[in-house]
Structure 1
Amino acid sequence: MTHKMFYEDAYLKQLKTTIVAMEPAEGQWQLITAETIFYPQGGGQPGDQGWLLTEDGRRIEITNTRYSADRQHIVHYLNGTSIAGLAAGTCVTLELNWARRHRLMRMHTAMHLMCSIIPAPVTGGGVSELQSRCEFDVQTSDWDKEQLTRQLNELVQAALPVSISYITEQQLDDNPELVRTMSVQPPRGLGDIRMIRVGEGIDYQPCGGTHVANTAEIGQIRIASIKSKGKQNKRFNIELED
């Protein structure tokens, strides 16, 4: 099983590790390492991108990162054919596209703030660098973009700590209200459930994504648009100001 270093420290930008396996598939080379700092696509958050640095000075682009079919490993997709000398046991360095990852972290934490100001079940969501979306099971159309933007930025400026903890699957079963998403449940059978807490009483729910350590790190944010996506489904699009 790939060791998820991004769960221990989401701010790691480089990591020396060892290749476990690599094979061609889908027109690209797929690489598995013993550990990784690359987040795999899932939970509405895109897979990380970056570079594979070899000991002989090559810099190979990593275009995407996903879980293997059995979710036991994390697969890095390489762009390029210059893989001579790379094989199981080879030492390499993983380097994140940190500017992209950090924007995704800021966006993902901002989406949790959205959950705190709209007290309704979550019907969908997607994290993106430029614009992210949160969808809620709400019927009313009486939402004010400017008011919601002010509320979001008040939570950002409050510099609330963002922390990670774990509960057992049984604890989650005993407290089903912790799951805000209607269509997606936390994966079972893989160990304890990872929880994200924002401040005290602001937001607390299962989440496997990467987050900033404090809401102040998000920076200014705004509600770009509010759209109806069904009779009782509203999409709130959010953007970072920088």
Structure 2
Amino acid sequence: MKELFYYEDAMIKEFTAEIVKTGSEETRNFIVLNNTAFYPTGGGQPHDTGWINDLEIIDVEKVDDEIRHYTVGNLSNISGEIKGKLNWGRRFDHMQQHAGQHILTAAFVELFDFATVSFHLGTELVTIDLNVSEISDDQLAAAEKRANEIILENRPIETKWVTKDELAQYNLRKVVKVDEDIRLVIIPDYDYNGCGGTHPTSTGQVGLLKILATEKMKQQIRVHFVCGNRVLQQLAMRKNVLSDVARQLSAPEEDASEALRKFVKTAKSTEKSLAEAQDALLEFEAQALAKEKIAAAMFENRSIQSLQKLARFITQQNEDAIALLVANNEDKLQFVAARGSQQTQSMKEISAAVLPLMNGKGGGNDALVQGGGEKIISAQALLDAMKKAIQ
């Protein structure tokens, strides 16, 4: 393992090697080389991509003792010596994020003795899970500040192969789980950690680290962050969002937060007023329907919530009434049946009678039921069936 190109020189972009064998798995072909600079998926770090000669490499995996380079290309014309070329943008991004994870993890240990229990390098964000159930904004800010201090100091990032017996010489951040081919990634006087991933040669190449969010995961805290060029990408995305919000609010960007707060307050007030107006209209509508003992009506494009509220208004105004309401909506029929307090018939009898007619589903209790189903009968036929169930 020590002689693999990606371990000998993490900054290598191109290389030559000999083909050992080729093969296929389902829809993908693979190439095995006598050495490679392509990093296979492992240790939380995704695989490299790139090219072997003119074949695009889309995946790299370690299978038993082989590193397989997967391609959808035809392997019939490839043999002997090849030239490999990495997708360097992807590879360097992974190195920045992975090194940033080491630095941030060490900062949490140094400042608060918070250990990292897992790490994931995604396509947009990086996450670490800390073995704590709570974390404050001040602690997050302090860890971010310390991590960026280490980056700015441009400390060397060293790698070293050691034996199990030699591990006692190093102040390791966590226990090494392998007994051979032990590789340490070292930031002198700061972090000592067993790791098989690729990293830049100095902390300065990480560029910058920014914590973006946290979330609680059972008894752990997940920290979302980005490093290097991803910071610029996230900044650009957030700048575009902020500019769009500010433009829609007709406010300067620096005042967008306060403008949005006022807008939401106004919207909630408007929404409340609208709801009150809608209730007033439903009550007015209920007055006419409540004059009948069987208050039956059909509507076009009414929500089930609106039908329920109207049915309650009807039965409140006439305690001896039964409300039968049907809505003919775009893709389905819906209904509500409700009884006043002086009625004893169970409304479940109505839903039991009409749901099979429409392949429907519903629910409720003896006083009020609702349901909906396919438009295989007309709204009028549904309402007639509800009336018949009462009689």
TM over 0.5: yes
Q: CA offset at residue 143 of structure 1?
A: 3.9
CA contact (8 A) 2:60 2:69 kept: yes
Counterpart for residue 51 of structure 1: 51
The alignment status of 1:79 with 2:67, answered yes or no, reads: no
- Higher percent of residues as helix: 2
What is the distance in 2 between the residues matched to 1:147 and 1:237?
15
Q: CA offset at residue 134 of structure 1?
A: 1.1
The alignment status of 1:95 with 2:85, answered yes or no, reads: yes
Gaps in structure 1 of 5+ consecutive residues: 54-58
Q: CA offset at residue 158 of structure 1?
A: 1.0
CA contact (8 A) 2:22 2:75 kept: no
Structure number with the bigger relative contact order (C-alpha 8 A, sep ≥ 6) is 1
> 5 Å matches for 1:105-116?
105-116=95-106
Which of the numbers 110, 115, 122 marks the counterpart of 1:128?
122
- TM-score normalised by length of structure 2: 0.54
CA contact (8 A) 2:211 2:224 kept: yes
The one-letter amino acid paired with 2:82 is V
Counterpart for residue 158 of structure 1: 153
User: May I ask how many residue pairs the two structures share in their alignment?
Assistant: 224
The one-letter amino acid paired with 1:194 is R
Q: CA offset at residue 198 of structure 1?
A: 1.0
- Higher percent of residues as strand: 1
The one-letter amino acid paired with 1:5 is F
Alignment RMSD, CA only? 2.1
- TM-score normalised by length of structure 1: 0.85
**Which SS does the other structure have where 1:139 is aligned?**
coil
The 1:67–1:187 alpha-carbon spacing in structure 2 relative to 1, beyond 3 Å, is farther
Counterpart for residue 148 of structure 1: 143
**1:126-148 deviation digits (Å, cap 9, x = unpaired):** 12353111112113332444433
Counterpart for residue 215 of structure 1: 203
The 1:106–1:2 alpha-carbon spacing in structure 2 relative to 1, beyond 3 Å, is closer
What is the distance in 2 between the residues matched to 1:3 and 1:196?
16
Which of the numbers 131, 136, 143 marks the counterpart of 1:137?
131
**1:199-233 deviation digits (Å, cap 9, x = unpaired):** 32x110100000011111111220011111112x1
CA contact (8 A) 1:38 1:65 kept: yes
Gaps in structure 2 of 5+ consecutive residues: 233-391
CA contact (8 A) 2:171 2:192 kept: no
Identity %: 26
What is the distance in 2 between the residues matched to 1:138 and 1:45?
24
